[in-house]
Amino acid sequence: MSEVPSPKSEGGARCPVITGMGVVSALGDDVPAFWQGLVGNRSGIAPIDRFETEGLRNDLAGQVRDWAFDPDEFGLDEAPDLAAQFLLTAAAEAVGDAGLALEPGCVAERVGVVGATNFGGAPSWEEYVAGLLEGQAAPELFEEFGFHSGLEHLISHFGLGGPVELFSVACASGTAAVGAAADAIRLGRADAMLAAGFDALAPTPLAGLSVLHTITAEHIRPFSADRSGTIFGEGSAVLVLEDYEAATRRGATIYGEVLGWAENSNAYHLTAPDHEGAGMTRVVRSALEDAAVAPESIDYVNAHGTGTQPHDPAETVAVKAVLGDRAYEIAMSSIKAAVGHMMGAAGAAEAIATAKTITEGVLPPTLNYREPDPECDLDYVPNESRPAQVRRALSISAGIGGNNACVVLGAP
């Protein structure tokens, strides 16, 4: 493993570091539950009990269970859309973890947010459509559905005044949010940024993913030869990023550094991956170049690893193409069999899992792995977590539409 001199020591450049994290997922309502579930080899995937699933290929999902939300805690008269509830809760954990003093009514002009979502307020959309089809459209539901509505709740509650952005590039959104938030720090546009992914399960997206056969009829098995599709999940994941020097001065805990990132398009097809994973290969290579990190310095890959037949070998090809022999020396795992594919929240949750991997020295497993696939011939940490020293890692995401994103994280 080669050592790359820390850029923190060079010429006053701003270095984005992670100082706070928050997660709401099928494994629980906070980061400890999320992480302990992952390294405890547990899965939060179970039958959906929030709405009817008749007609879906599978009633399994990474649903957030036993959910409770108090609007008073966030200064709201009533509960917002469920996706926004997840977002606010995860953000509160992250901001508290970072020790940032943010509050409504006090605009923090140097604190901003990059959000990420596939479907916005999807539960509100379902209600809105039901009313619309009956000739009774409810504008308040349309507003809660809006992609940016959850973000506006977050901005209002935490008094944010800095840069704002919301990405919707399908399942690549969350990873892109982490990278763009890091850019805002690096370019001096903000002193702190939230990278916030959020999405909630709802009938229409699941119906669509079911008829596309993206969803498996049995269990999600990333990289296993008998894989047959993915299982979706929901929740939110929020990271607080700050400049290293500022974070150090105020004594913040630093979980890791965002060394670089990239996003791109396969420019090939809306749903099918391109041949030989060329788009993912380019994005991984671009991310390493942006980070100025050599491929041989990577110690772990947190994979997109959806468990679909076409995706997993394409991602394996991409990783091997960029890392070369190093790909066979390190581990690459997918957490999607533990929490489901969290859609717009996935990339941010996986960045948190990757940061925890670095700081805790434990590789989360790829659950439900059964059969080796000659096309997927790397070490996927099958079924059980294990210790490992990880100083630099990649997290990769890809989405419908052909969007890809990759972020490079490093030890603090």
Partner 1 sequence: MTSSARAGRASSPDSIVITGLGLIHGLGLGVSALLEAVSGAGGAGGVGAGAAFAKATADKPAAEPVECSDFEPEDYRESSKTYLDRCSDLTLGACYLAVRDAELSWQDGEHPRWGVSLGTAYGCLESMLNMSGRVQQKGMRFGSPVIFTHSFANSPGALAAIEYDLQGPCMTHCVGDLSGAAALEYALAVLRLGRADLLLAGGVEAISRPLLAGVERDGLGGIPAEGAAILVLETAAHAAARGATPLAELAGAAVLAGSGDGGALARALGDARAESAEVAEAPVACGHTFGAELALDAAVCVGLLTQGHQGPLAAVSRDGRAALVFKRWDER
Q: Show the site string, 321-360: x = touches partner 1 by CB under 8 A, - = not.
A: ----------------------------------------
- CA–CA distance, 182 with 360 (Å, rounded to integer): 22
Contact between 143 and partner 1 per CB under 8 A: yes
Q: Any idea which residues carry the catalytic annotation?
A: 171, 304, 341
Residue from 236, 266, 302, 366 touching partner 1 (CB under 8 A): that is 266
Least distance to partner 1 from the beta carbon of 211, Å?
5
Task: Judge contact between 401 and 170, C-beta under 8 A.
Answer: yes
Q: Enter the tokens of residue 379.
A: 């070490």
Among 18, 56, 317, 398, binds partner 1 (CB under 8 A): 56
Q: How far is the CB of 365 from partner 1 (least distance, A)?
A: 31
In one-letter notation, the amino acid at residue 201 is L
Give the count of residues interacting with partner 1 (CB under 8 A): 86
What secondary structure does DSSP assign to 201-250, as a single string? --HHHHHHHHHTT-B-SS---TT-TT---B-BB-EEEEEEEEEHHHHHHT
- Distance from first CA to last CA of the chain, Å, rounded? 17
Binding mask 82-121 for partner 1 (x = CB under 8 A): -------------------------x-x--xx---xx-x-
Q: Does 263 bind partner 1 (CB under 8 A)?
A: yes
How far apart are CB 269 and partner 1 at their closest, in Å?
Answer: 7
Burial tier of 49 (Cβ tally within 10 Å: 0-12, 13-18, 19+):
exposed
- String marking each residue 145-184 x if it binds partner 1 according to CB under 8 A: xxxx--xx--x----xxxxxxxxxxx-----x---x--x-
> In this structure, what DSSP letter does residue 399 have?
E
Region 180-199 residues binding partner 1, contact defined as CB under 8 A? 180, 183, 186-187
Q: Which of 260, 295, 364, 412 binds partner 1 (CB under 8 A)?
A: 260
Pick the stretch among 17-25, 257-265, 326-334, 353-361 that binds partner 1 (CB under 8 A). Answer: 257-265
Nearest to 38 by CA among 352, 389, 379, 399: 352
Regarding 403 and contact with partner 1 (CB under 8 A), the answer is yes
**Interface pattern 367-386 for partner 1 (x via CB under 8 A):** --------------------
Name which of 37, 192, 39, 171 is nearest 102 in CA terms.
192
What span, in angstroms and rounded, lies between the C-alpha atoms of 131 and 259?
A: 47
Residue 399 and residue 339 in contact, taking contact as beta carbons nearer than 8 Å:
no
Look at residue 279 and give its three-state secondary structure: helix
Which of 1, 33, 46, 129 lies at the binding interface for partner 1 (CB under 8 A)? Answer: 129
